[in-house]
């Protein structure tokens, strides 16, 4: 199965599984590094990792326009429904749901999940997306710090990890190296950082210490898996 991963800026990605489009954390309106405006976004399924506004983004508008369900934690799915989302799909840690392209499993993420209006938004999640033949696996970490269960994710033979590296609210560069030693992905795509950040030293360290191949995308650029 052809899998194309396109970074849309911040933590927003479009993952195309043979034309089945999965949109992750679609923060486009108000994102100065967004590759496309929200009205141009297309999706068959939308994943939202947690309730913060830079991840909820345009999920409701895109979901309703594209008839794409929003997959997220239970409390957040109730919040989405209350705010006009027609099609929501709850999931929680270690749960798996099946879709035409394959499966999505929820993982923990060490982070908050309050919604933009201050409502309790459940627990922050990460996601592992796998093609139905289990041949290609993508770990989307959401917003998180390092946690030791990343070594369990490392047992899953992850092809690509989408990892936040921007520090302050998520792990920073050196902590991301510790995470990569546990996740052991073949490739890593950084997200959730200031686009002006110089990543040359980080790329070298990733190669030398973790064995992963760093794939630094420009907003709008794609990686073919």
Chain positions contacting Mn ion, by CB under 5 A: 54, 143
> Using CB under 5 A, which of the segments 5-13, 46-54, 60-68, 184-192 binds Ni ion?
46-54
Angle at which helix 59-66 crosses helix 74-82, to 10 degrees, equals 70
Q: How far is the CB of 113 from Ni ion (least distance, A)?
A: 8
Q: How far is the CB of 142 from Ni ion (least distance, A)?
A: 8
Query: Which residue, 38 or 225, has its beta carbon nearer to Mn ion?
Result: 38
Q: Is 52 in the site for Ni ion (CB under 5 A)?
A: yes
Q: Is 143 in the site for Ni ion (CB under 5 A)?
A: yes
Q: How far apart are CA 170 and CA 176, in angstroms?
A: 9
Q: Is 136 in the site for Ni ion (CB under 5 A)?
A: no
Q: How far apart are CA 162 and CA 7, in angstroms?
A: 10
> Using CB under 5 A, which of the segments 19-27, 37-45, 135-143, 212-220 binds Ni ion?
135-143
Reading across the β-sheet that carries 20-24, which strands appear in turn? 88-90, 70-72, 45-47, 20-24, 12-17, 3-9, 222-224
Q: Which residue is nearest to Ni ion (CB)?
A: 52
Non-local (6+) Cβ contacts of 92 within 8 A are 73, 74, 106, 123, 125
């Amino acid at each position: 199965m052809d899998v194309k991963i396109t970074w849309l800026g911040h933590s927003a990605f479009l993952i195309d599984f043979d034309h089945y489009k999965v949109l992750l954390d679609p923060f486009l309106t108000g994102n100065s590094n967004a590759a496309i405006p929200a009205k141009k976004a297309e999706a068959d399924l939308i994943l939202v990792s947690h309730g913060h506004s830079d991840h909820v983004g345009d999920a409701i508008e895109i979901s309703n326009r594209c008839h794409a369900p929003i997959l997220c934690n239970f409390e957040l799915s109730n919040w989405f429904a209350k705010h006009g989302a027609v099609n929501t799909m709850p999931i929680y840690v270690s749960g798996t749901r099946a879709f035409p392209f394959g499966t999505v499993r929820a993982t923990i993420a060490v982070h908050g999940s309050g919604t933009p209006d201050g409502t309790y938004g459940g627990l922050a999640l990460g996601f592992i997306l796998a093609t139905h033949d289990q041949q290609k696996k993508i770990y989307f970490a959401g917003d998180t710090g390092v946690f030791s269960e990343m070594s369990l994710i490392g047992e899953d033979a992850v092809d690509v990890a989408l990892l936040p590296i921007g520090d302050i609210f998520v792990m920073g560069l050196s902590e991301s190296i510790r995470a990569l030693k546990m996740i052991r992905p073949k490739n890593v795509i950084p997200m959730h950082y200031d686009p002006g950040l110089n990543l040359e030293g980080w790329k070298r360290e990733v190669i030398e210490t973790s064995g992963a191949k760093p794939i630094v995308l420009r907003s709008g650029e794609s990686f073919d898996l």
